Amino acid sequence: MAGELIKAGDILKIGQRLEFYVEDDEEKYLSRIEDVAEKEFIAGMPLTRQRVPVIPRQGSKLYGLAVGDQCRYRFMTTFQGTGWTDGNIPIWHVKMPERVEKFQNREFVRIKVSQRIHVRLIDKDGGIGDPIGTWTIDISGGGVSFLLRQPVAENSKAGLEIHDIPDVGTVSVMSRIVRCVKQKNPDGEIVYQVGAHFLDLSRLTVNKLVKYLFAVQRRAIAKGINL
């Protein structure tokens, strides 16, 4: 999901809160910008959960997030080395990217991912239908879209089971249908793209789901894939 591209210098300023992911590492590291130059910025050296300084190999790719109140700004850059401030604070030297990409808060970023899903439609009298097997089109921390061969009424409810999500398992959740769009598949068959909003997913499950989706997104961006 491509967003608005903004000059990095307009966002990456002193005091900006950052989140970093080092290449091939799923752990999130927190930092902030301590100083800015034309070709690099200085970030406070992140620590692991065990309070150990994080020191990547020189030249390692970094996936960065500048954190705002309503949105985030993502960018890919390069780790250039470590150092110390005049106040003896350990720091990272990070290459200044040319642009950052604005996108919505990650819980609601929809990522294209195909997972097995079973859908039980619920009629207006509360009757629960047989499970319909299909595949997801995209998922976010707040909902999912999938294809069905039959139309579904908006604002109706459906029970969902999304299977075999890495590091999450099976997600079972009640949902509300928020859209149903008629379309043709590549074979010319009429199908319906259905969007559903999760109603009662626990915060723990949301966090696990978002972490998985965020990892998918980060890997795709690093490979130049547009989600």
| pLDDT per position as a tens digit, 43-55 | 999 999 889 999 9
- Work out the pLDDT band at 225, boundaries 50, 70, 90: very low
Q: Can you give the pTM of this predicted structure?
A: 0.58
* CA nearest to 21, candidates 227, 186, 214: 214
65-83 pLDDT per residue, tens: 898 766 788 888 999 999 9
- C-alpha 120/C-alpha 170 separation (Å) is 15
130-144 pLDDT per residue, tens: 999 999 999 988 899
* CA nearest to 9, candidates 104, 68, 97: 97
- C-alpha 73/C-alpha 100 separation (Å) is 6
The CA R_g of the chain, rounded to the nearest whole Å, is: 21
Q: Give the bridge partners for 172, in sequence order.
A: 161
**What is the pLDDT of the chain when averaged over all its residues?**
88
Structure token digits, residue 124: 């207006």
Q: What does the pLDDT read at residue 148?
A: 95
Q: Is 168 helix (H, G, I), strand (E, B) or coil?
A: coil
The backbone region for 24, taken as left when phi is positive above 0, alpha when psi lies in -120 to 50, beta otherwise, is: left
| Residues 23 and 60 sit within 8 Å (Cβ to Cβ) | yes
| Residues 73 and 66 sit within 8 Å (Cβ to Cβ) | yes
Tell me the domains of the chain and their CATH numbers. Answer: 5-104 (2.30.110.10), 111-221 (2.40.10.220)
14-49 pLDDT per residue, tens: 999 999 988 767 788 999 999 999 899 999 999 998
| DSSP for 197-217, written as a single string | EESS--HHHHHHHHHHHHHHH
Structure token digits, residue 151: 């139309």
The DSSP symbol for 222 reads: H
* CA nearest to 145, candidates 175, 187, 169: 175
Q: What does the pLDDT read at residue 72?
A: 81
Average pLDDT over residues 175-203: 91
Structure token digits, residue 41: 């910025």
- C-alpha 109/C-alpha 105 separation (Å) is 7
Structure token digits, residue 116: 């097995």
